[in-house]
Structures are given as C-alpha cells and as structure tokens.
Amino acid sequence: MTREYLLAAAAAALLVVLLEVFVLRTGLFRRPAYWVTMAIVLAFQVPVDGWLTKLDAPIVLYADWAITGLRAPWDIPVEDFLYGFAMVTAVLSLWERRRARGAVDRG
C-alpha cells in the first residue's frame, strides 16, 4: 500500500536538503540561527498540529493509506514534521540566496 503523504513529505525534505547543499549553497545548515529558527517553528508546530490532529477529537483527518500511522507528541503524524521542515527550509534557503544575490547586484 502506498503511503502518499509519507512519500511526498520525505521526497520534499530530501529535495530541499539536496537543493541547499548542492545548488543554492547558502550555508544555512551551518548557521546557529537556522537551528534556533527550527526550534521556534517546532515550539509552535507541536501544540497547533497536536491540537489539529489529536486522535480523540481530530480536526484534520488523514487517510490510513496515506500515512505510516507513526505519531509523535500529541498524536502528530511524523509526516507533518518532514513537511514542515521542507517548507520552512526551502523558504529560508531561497530567501538567503536572494539576499546574497541582491548584495552582489548592489555591489
């Protein structure tokens, strides 16, 4: 059975890491500010996502065939963490690349 959300979230996370490391090369993963940002994102993601996906009264429902069924704190599907990582990292990488290019263009 295909786990569509898992495959999509894992592919997105892997693609973003490859994009950052081999194409954009902003050095984002070496910056403490990036990891602090990710901690802040998690600090908000866990309570909000946990409330939305709690098994006893879910607001967001996932098809059993689309996810692994693995859930970490407060019933959050692990796929949500992969998706969140990919989304935030992609935006920050592209933002940093744009910022660096803007400095070169103005120089």
**Structure confidence at residue 104 (pLDDT):** 62
Contact assessment for residue 6 and residue 67, using Cβ atoms and an 8 Å cutoff: yes
> In this predicted structure, what is the pLDDT of residue 105?
60
Positions in the chain short of pLDDT 50: none
Residues 6+ apart with CB under 8 A from 61: none
Prediction pTM value: 0.87
| pLDDT at residue number 56 | 92
The pLDDT, as a whole number, for residue 103 is: 67
pLDDT at 73: 87
